[in-house]
Structure 1
């Protein structure tokens, strides 16, 4: 990726601490506001997009005071920022007025879980950690490359492999849509105010899974159900969670499934094995009226 606008290239990068002072705000942990202020991390984050990523229209969720926005305007043709804080949204429009006037920056005020998102080409964001899962699973099905900041624990669960303690329904769900990589660990002192935990930058590269799922909603619900019983065998997990998966006849699924799957635990099943079990469950365990 290259810096796309001569005027932007010639301008010094905005200092994140000065942006906070100009905005007249402080980060508020109670509102999930932790501003990324480490220049080195800010400079690196956009570079984690895949080399072939389309940077014609980059989405940023949680613009804050604009330190990352400033970096994104150097590599993208156009940036759309979603910011739920009214005062910060107004500050971004003022601080980046030249880019707004040039049609290179749009600032949408509101909740990223409720707004209609634009047709963006990639997403780079320091997400509000309290809604990480909800936002991630709004973005992942859209099949756009993304670089996202999460709490480290959440990031490691997203990218975890079967058989590890971190592996769970988050891993299966995220990796159903994309290759997921933790590309950098970020210490608390990179933020203002520092969060109580380490953070991590995650790159998601969209791809189709190497298995077939006919009913994605049921597949993800089935995975969620079985993982609620992760300490039990898959056999017992299927039987005990029909109220979550929506199965009308879980015993029929157990009877149809391979014993090699049933005697294992959820954390030992790869996504393609979950897909096979979900296919059997849909055929043998759902009532006639289930879609």
Structure 2
């Protein structure tokens, strides 16, 4: 880190832009109907970049999705060498370019107007974002496979499901899929009052640290489809969940897959067929998916 970087990060808090003042200068409040809930609590805003720094995440180029009036953008510029903001609202995109004109001119801030699900993403090193809740799942699963560190704001229920362990009520497809790509931690709950306007639900900050899973799958796309399929029948036994969902998993012969496991033709304990999805660890799902694909075929 250069001396200039250190000076930016250690700047006195009084130099940080006030979130409420940013909203006033932007001339527009957040619109809940357009999924706009702006984080205005200075204490939370100041802590967010630190969650990435704690794990030595590379902050040379930070991606922010949904900049709004720029309160988090301001904090990111204090910690990162370069920031790219993707903002769908043209008015807020224009405001960010004006408010942070010096940083834009210096090449430290890039504002891309458009939909984060459609735009080509820059070659970022870490993403730190207060995501629009309506598309948070889709954006998260665009970012997770890129294997970059993430610090993202979600609805609290969603965040807890991402980080849940097998056997808990919150554990499900979201848990298995998220943890396939990264270690997932809920690092801070955030109350409704930290936002303007306040959302109807509590929020939480999630940190993901990319890593390879400690299991192997032969076809990642099939594995993810298989997990999705089985969890649509989470109250059923694995036997019935596999048999009932070939239209989701893509298995060509679900009965053959089940029969092979039941008859001991795989390295799985046949008793697994009597269990339910919520009690199976991700590595067990991986082994199930491999066995099912080998013996049942799939339309991959």
Show CA shifts across 1:89-114 (max 9, x none). Answer: 00000000000000000000000000
In 1, Cα distance between the equivalents of 2:147 and 2:242? 30
1:271 matched to 2:249? The reply is no
In 2, Cα distance between the equivalents of 1:51 and 1:26? 34
Is the contact between residue 8 and residue 79 of structure 2 (CA under 8 Å) also seen in structure 1? no
Match of 1:281 among 264, 281, 292: 292
Normalised by the size of structure 2, how large is the TM-score?
Answer: 0.94
Residue 213 of structure 1 and its aligned partner are, at CA, apart by 1.2
In 2, Cα distance between the equivalents of 1:256 and 1:137? 33
Q: Secondary structure at the match of 1:185?
A: strand
Residue 186 of structure 1 and its aligned partner are, at CA, apart by 0.3
Partner of 1:186: 190
In 2, Cα distance between the equivalents of 1:214 and 1:157? 26
Partner of 1:133: 137
In 2, Cα distance between the equivalents of 1:212 and 1:281? 14
Match of 1:41 among 41, 44, 47: 44
Query: Structure 1, unaligned stretches of length 5 or more?
Result: none
Partner of 2:266: none
Is the contact between residue 77 and residue 83 of structure 2 (CA under 8 Å) also seen in structure 1? yes
Task: Describe the shift of the 1:24–1:259 C-alpha distance in structure 2 as closer, same or farther (beyond 3 A).
Answer: same
Is the contact between residue 178 and residue 184 of structure 2 (CA under 8 Å) also seen in structure 1? yes
Q: Secondary structure at the match of 2:118?
A: coil
Residue 248 of structure 1 and its aligned partner are, at CA, apart by 1.2
Residue 200 of structure 1 and its aligned partner are, at CA, apart by 0.2
Residue 282 of structure 1 and its aligned partner are, at CA, apart by 1.1
Residue 6 of structure 1 and its aligned partner are, at CA, apart by 4.2
Match of 1:16 among 10, 14, 19: 19
In 2, Cα distance between the equivalents of 1:66 and 1:82? 11
Moved over 2 A (4+): 5-11
Partner of 1:242: 246
Task: Describe the shift of the 1:27–1:43 C-alpha distance in structure 2 as closer, same or farther (beyond 3 A).
Answer: same
Partner of 1:149: 153
RMSD between aligned alpha carbons?
1.4
Normalised by the size of structure 1, how large is the TM-score?
Answer: 0.96
Partner of 1:77: 81
In 2, Cα distance between the equivalents of 1:202 and 1:19? 25
Q: Secondary structure at the match of 2:57?
A: coil
Q: Secondary structure at the match of 2:56?
A: coil
In 1, Cα distance between the equivalents of 2:199 and 2:271? 43
1:105 matched to 2:114? The reply is no
In 2, Cα distance between the equivalents of 1:280 and 1:13? 55
Q: Secondary structure at the match of 2:153?
A: strand
1:197 matched to 2:201? The reply is yes
Q: Secondary structure at the match of 1:82?
A: strand
In 2, Cα distance between the equivalents of 1:185 and 1:13? 23
In 2, Cα distance between the equivalents of 1:5 and 1:99? 17
Task: Describe the shift of the 1:7–1:283 C-alpha distance in structure 2 as closer, same or farther (beyond 3 A).
Answer: closer
Count of residues in Structure 1 that have an aligned counterpart in Structure 2:
289
